[in-house]
Structure 1
């Protein structure tokens, strides 16, 4: 696989939102363009949707989970295409449908309250 993700998975706070850092790692001696897609664009943002990773290089990316929404699993797909050193537009290979591979990393959103004890329900007021 030309590109890998480190770490390959992460967990986010679905109540408060949170930020996790990942790294795209190029395991080849070729330059690659990448494109990041997400299964839930409503609650996730990524620092670089398109970019380049130099030969045997690394590209840090920030994945931000916005507060709210239901807990659960989502995934990011990092697509890549080998590009020449003179390529300046990271979108170009994907517009030309030159994608040569992809890697998936899974994310999970859990409520922070899941680790705390919930307060008992308030007593009902009786009306006579």
Structure 2
């Protein structure tokens, strides 16, 4: 089970903007994920919950609202997805995260 993100870090203008990440599943199991931000005041993440099929990726949009320059991070928790589940938000509450990784974010 392996989930990765490209790029490994994110830089967005402090006066606002967007950036995209690709979360890739290089394993053989369908994975479920949840994304958390250290700064929910200035950032919006879409989607927060989701599934990634084996050998596929999910595009994630990071939106930065205008605010003072600051170093932040997003943390992605993931696990093997429960079988026959289609609502990632509800399903994530039933799993124990098997992995986590952090993506540093800079607002300059």
What TM-score range do you get, normalising by the shorter chain? over 0.9
How far residue 84 of structure 1 moved from its aligned partner, in angstroms, is 4.0
Give TM-score, length-normalised by structure 2. 0.92
Count of matched residue positions in the alignment of Structure 1 and Structure 2: 108
Is 1:6 equivalent to 2:2 in the alignment?
A: no
More strand by share: 2
**Residue 96 (structure 2) aligned to one of 88, 95, 98:** 98
Which of structure 1's runs of 4+ aligned residues deviate more than 3 A?
Answer: none
TM-score, normalised relative to structure 1:
0.79
**Which of the pair has more CA radius of gyration?**
1
Native 8 Å contact 2:20 2:60 kept in 1 = yes
Tell whether the 8 Å contact from 2:85 to 2:91 is kept in structure 1 after alignment: no
The root-mean-square deviation of aligned C-alpha atoms, in Å, is: 1.4
* Structure 2 equivalent of residue 76 of structure 1: 74
Checking the alignment, whether the CA contact within 8 Å between 1:30 and 1:56 is kept in structure 2 is no
Gaps of 5+ in 1: 111-128
